[in-house]
Amino acid sequence: MHIRMLKLRLLNAIAPAYFYSATAITFALHFYLFLPTIFPSHGRGFSSTTVLHSIIFLYLMLNALGNYTMTIRHPAESPNEKIVPVCSPDCPDRVDAHYLLNGRHFCKLCKKVILRRDHHCFFTGNCIGNRNMRYFIMFCIYTSCTCLYSLVLGVAYLTVEYSISFESPLTFLTLLPLSTGYFFLGAISGLQFFLVLMLYVWLGIGLTCAGFCCQQVLLVARGQTWCQMRSGRLAESDSSWRANLSDVFGSRWALGFFLPVQTVEASHGDAAHEHE
């Protein structure tokens, strides 16, 4: 048990570092490699295409990083409970959390009581619950968009710079094994091999985030949590899907869809769930 907790704590420290590194690398590749090569300026300043792509990329990244920060800044913990309450009699004592009552959990990693806990996100190092679920979902959507957008520009760069053709749908299946072989034979440079690896990283993160986001929205609409699903105790919600969604996304949800701003009232989650 202690070893498993140690592994989880280690993951809780490594995952945010991985997120920051991947973000910095993606940023550098866009502005120092992809845009200058795909859209060369020919000494006449920046072309309008370069400016357009820069704005799209910066907007996607601003939303991804902004919602990441909001997820951390608005934690799902209960501000009123400093002392750990007694566990519910049917607490399964999961690896990372004690089940309490009324939709509250005690997260062993955060060491806090969490309201309507969904899951512990290792990339943010925080628990996700009703109060930060909206930011977390937007973070997933924009991370997915940033990764898939980077994937498209990465493919364009490899086509322009190294004349790799992506016309065949099988290219993505053979690209990694072939590049690995060529790299160890010394036929391709370290940078080229690294770029191929990044394509798969972006594809993997992009698809995972999109799939995860769809599942989260479905759970939110049904008034259920990942925690309930994992323990096989999905509760049927009495409220309509519209009420469940507005409970999580707040009244100004449309604004939050385009900008990483606070759309859930500060005391919203606490007031609603204190009386459960």
Residue 233: DSSP 8-state: -
Question: Distance (Å, rounded) from C-alpha 177 to C-alpha 183?
Answer: 10
Question: Distance (Å, rounded) from C-alpha 250 to C-alpha 276?
Answer: 19
Which of residues 36 and 125 has its CB atom nearest to Zn ion in the complex? Answer: 125
In the complex, the smallest distance separating the C-beta of residue 110 from Zn ion, rounded to whole angstroms, is: 3
In the complex, the smallest distance separating the C-beta of residue 142 from Zn ion, rounded to whole angstroms, is: 22
Alpha helices in 80-225 (DSSP H): 133-162, 171-185, 190-221
* Residues near 141 by beta carbon (within 8 Å), at least 6 away in sequence: 209, 210, 213
**110 among known catalytic residues:** no
Question: Distance (Å, rounded) from C-alpha 261 to C-alpha 146?
Answer: 19
Catalytic residue among 107, 110, 121, 140: 121
Question: Distance (Å, rounded) from C-alpha 113 to C-alpha 99?
Answer: 10
Which of residues 122 and 202 has its CB atom nearest to Zn ion in the complex? Answer: 122
Which of residues 110 and 248 has its CB atom nearest to Zn ion in the complex? Answer: 110
With contact defined as beta carbons under 8 Å apart, do 131 and 264 qualify? yes
Q: How many residues bind Zn ion (CB under 5 A)?
A: 5
Which of residues 60 and 110 has its CB atom nearest to Zn ion in the complex? Answer: 110
CB atoms within 10 A of CB 13: 10
Cα 67 from chain centroid?
A: 9
Which of residues 64 and 121 has its CB atom nearest to Zn ion in the complex? Answer: 121
In the complex, the smallest distance separating the C-beta of residue 102 from Zn ion, rounded to whole angstroms, is: 18
Question: Distance (Å, rounded) from C-alpha 156 to C-alpha 33?
Answer: 11
Per CB under 5 A, contacts with Zn ion among 97-136 are 107, 109-110, 120, 127
In the complex, the smallest distance separating the C-beta of residue 97 from Zn ion, rounded to whole angstroms, is: 7
In the complex, the smallest distance separating the C-beta of residue 124 from Zn ion, rounded to whole angstroms, is: 10
Question: Distance (Å, rounded) from C-alpha 85 to C-alpha 175?
Answer: 54
Question: Distance (Å, rounded) from C-alpha 51 to C-alpha 173?
Answer: 33
Task: State the residues that interact with Zn ion by CB under 5 A.
Answer: 107, 109-110, 120, 127
The residues carrying an active-site annotation are: 121
